[in-house]
Amino acid sequence: MELRIALLETMRAMGAAGLNVGTAGNASVRLDAAQTPTTIDHAHAPVHMLITPSGLAVERCGTQDMARIDADGRAHGPFAPSSEWQLHRDIYAAFPAAGAVLHAHSPFATALACQRIDIPPFHYMIARFGGSSIRCARYATFGTQALSDATVAALHERNACLLANHGMVVFGRDLSQALALAIEFETLCAQYWRSLQIGEPVLLSEAEMAEVLERFRWYGKPRA
């Protein structure tokens, strides 16, 4: 029950932060220990998760409405799971570090996603998401395996990406971190969008980003 409460509270927090409006977006949390087969079979990945329901505004949701997805892909709950449940499942299967996944149609991330552009190293905090850029996954229809595959590819060595003509996806070790990362990501998207209104921003060099990425190896981690 605690995870159901946390998932519902996270979805409400996404709305309060301006990441989602109405029935847009979804969130999930892993229920099983992170186990990833050597060769990932997305159709049979051993993932158990809770995910927000499909097409239900967050203000109408209760904890009992969160859908549980079994390892075989069967859903349990009073409502159908989010149409993006395959995307969440495949992220968990591909990335053992993912304990929670958030998908949002936030204004600035979506605006950039509609341009189908990667976000370059205009700011050093790009490194917060695992590399020197944030990729935009190729376009695919929502709720399809093609979108899931494109998202997993764009998240390689990253914990966030844009979805072309769609929105954003982030994952974190838990719901709290995933929410914080989603808010940070949307803030970076807003900053990049605003910078483009002035002109092309001056980008950090490969060497400069390499130094930042090295420092991010211990950023936010407890001291040994």
Alpha carbon 204 to its chain centroid, in Å, reads 25
Q: Which two tokens stand for residue 103?
A: 């998908």
**Is 201 part of any domain?**
yes
Domain count, the chain: 1
Q: What is the pTM of this model?
A: 0.91
* CA 16, 22, 26, 31 torsion-angle sign: positive
Domain range for 37 is 2-215
- Whether the per-residue pLDDT at 37 is higher than 90: the answer is no
Strand-pair partners of 137: 163
**Is 211 part of any domain?**
yes
Asked whether the beta carbons of 53 and 81 are under 8 A apart, the reply is: yes
Q: Which two tokens stand for residue 90?
A: 């495949």
**Is 8 part of any domain?**
yes
**Is 165 part of any domain?**
yes
Catalytic positions: 84
**Is 35 part of any domain?**
yes
The C-alpha atoms of residue 70 and residue 120 are separated, in whole angstroms, by: 38
If phi > 0 it is left, if psi is from -120 to 50 it is alpha, else beta; for residue 73 that is left
**Is 170 part of any domain?**
yes
> Could you tell me whether strands 160-163 and 136-137 are parallel, antiparallel, or unpaired per DSSP bridges?
parallel
When pLDDT is averaged across residues 102-131 and rounded to a whole number, the result is 97
Which pLDDT tens digit goes with each residue over 46-88?
Answer: 789 999 999 888 888 999 999 999 988 889 989 999 999 999 9
- Whether the per-residue pLDDT at 27 is higher than 80: the answer is yes
**Is 221 part of any domain?**
no
The C-alpha atoms of residue 24 and residue 97 are separated, in whole angstroms, by: 25
